[in-house]
Amino acid sequence: MANALNWFEIPAGDFERARKFYETICGVELQAMEDPAGRQTAMFPSDWEKGDVGGSIAAGEGSIPGPVGTVVFLNANPDLQAVLDRVEPAGGKVLMPKTPIAMGDAGHMAVFQDTEGNRVGLHSMG
């Protein structure tokens, strides 16, 4: 198994608000895609041919945002502070500031609440 994670999905109550939030904090454009379940979805950039892990935001039946449950950690290399600094101006809330991971050279982590109420993490080596 090359990656423990293969795909992630972040639920959204307000699709356009969530899309704008993640585009703003990550500095990327999320690409609309066809969802087999008929929900609104937009995918984070990834290169499947290189084995990149992909993910999306999704709104519609079965996509219920909330503050409990699984936490997805987004890649924020080289330094997650740049992403974290954009969270509150974009409408989110920082729940845990940039914190060193106490496992050798494992980098740093942070956790924020997005505009939909989800807890989402960030990870970077710097």
Percent of the chain at pLDDT > 70 equals: 98
CATH-assigned architecture of domain 7-124: Roll (3.10)
Q: Residue 103's pLDDT is what?
A: 86
The pLDDT tens digits for 7-21 are 999 999 999 999 999
User: Which residue from 71, 75, 77 is spatially nearest to 112, judged by alpha carbons?
Assistant: 71
pLDDT at 2 over 70: no
Q: How many residues does the chain have?
A: 126
Q: Residue 56's pLDDT is what?
A: 96
Q: Residue 31's pLDDT is what?
A: 96
Distance CA(26)–CA(9), nearest Å, equals 16
> What average pLDDT does the chain have?
94
